[in-house]
Amino acid sequence: MALCLCSVVYRWEQGRRLFQGQVRPVCPRRTVVTGGSDGIGKAYAFELAGRGLNVVILSRTKDKLDRVALEIGETTGQKVKVIVADFTEDDMYEHIEENLKGLNISVLVNNVGILPSHIPCKFLQTKDLEQRITKVINCNVKALVKMCQIVLPGMEKRGKGVIVNISSGVASVPSPMYTMYCASKVFVERFSQGLQAEYKAKRVMIQAVAPFGVSTPMTGYQKSNMVTLTAEDFVRTSLEYLQAGDKTYGSICHTVLGWMVQAVPQQILHSETMQDSLLEYVKKRVGT
């Protein structure tokens, strides 16, 4: 255990030094963040703008986008472009591509994602299941692939770039009550790892980031602590792991939690008792 922890610390320090030493050449001009008006996406937009990049943020609500753009501009002095896009639909990618045309995009953060249900539940108990299936696949899977299709050619041509794809710690193991969400995040990880193998020689870094608890609207703004991090703290930490491999949990505490979850026998994690306990815990945390 101590050896594993030392390995994580070493990789964190390696990633921190490499990132600090290559901020300008790796990320010289523009970053694109999907789901950039809230939570982790907003935190990435702020953090990368603070490091000298102009920002493009995409989300479905223009008022929120405009407010965040104003905040980023006033706080960092960087230029911010907004693109209204509802990623639960699938008819806006020509619009996105047109708005990104001609931009030197150095960083893409595929953050946008949704839960099938606010409260964890079994697959067939999901409200409006047919609609939710389509929305989850569009938002959690198709959006990531299409954004890579739009942005990656420019990175390949320039011979540099960074793509960060937000997965989830729940994808570490099969997760009952989060089955559809978990499966969509497994796709994020495998797609990221395969894509990194394909384009590493082109000096494009592609990484899946798999956080556990982060205090965001999706998690009901859970109170932050040693394990549940604020979005800002998580993003700052995760960027230190940028060159530490094709998948990271984004922080030491989440890495250790990932080890612990994977060490628990699946018959315990998948028991009806555990599923009932999870449901009760989440209901209490979100106040329902």
Residues with active-site annotation: 181
Up-side HSE of residue 216: CA atoms within 13 Å toward CB?
Answer: 26
Separation between Cα atoms, residue 5 and residue 25, nearest integer Å:
31
Residue 190 structure tokens = 């495998």
Contacts of 186 (CB under 8 A, 6+ apart): 167, 171
Residue 38 structure tokens = 């809230």
Contacts of 200 (CB under 8 A, 6+ apart): 206
Separation between Cα atoms, residue 206 and residue 208, nearest integer Å:
7
Separation between Cα atoms, residue 60 and residue 276, nearest integer Å:
34
Residue 43 structure tokens = 């935190």
Q: Bridge partners of 247?
A: 208
Separation between Cα atoms, residue 219 and residue 228, nearest integer Å:
10
Cβ proximity of 226 and 213 under 8 Å: no
Separation between Cα atoms, residue 167 and residue 249, nearest integer Å:
9
Nearest residue to 96 via CA among 108, 113, 114? 108
What region does 21 belong to: left with phi over 0, alpha with psi -120 to 50, or beta?
alpha
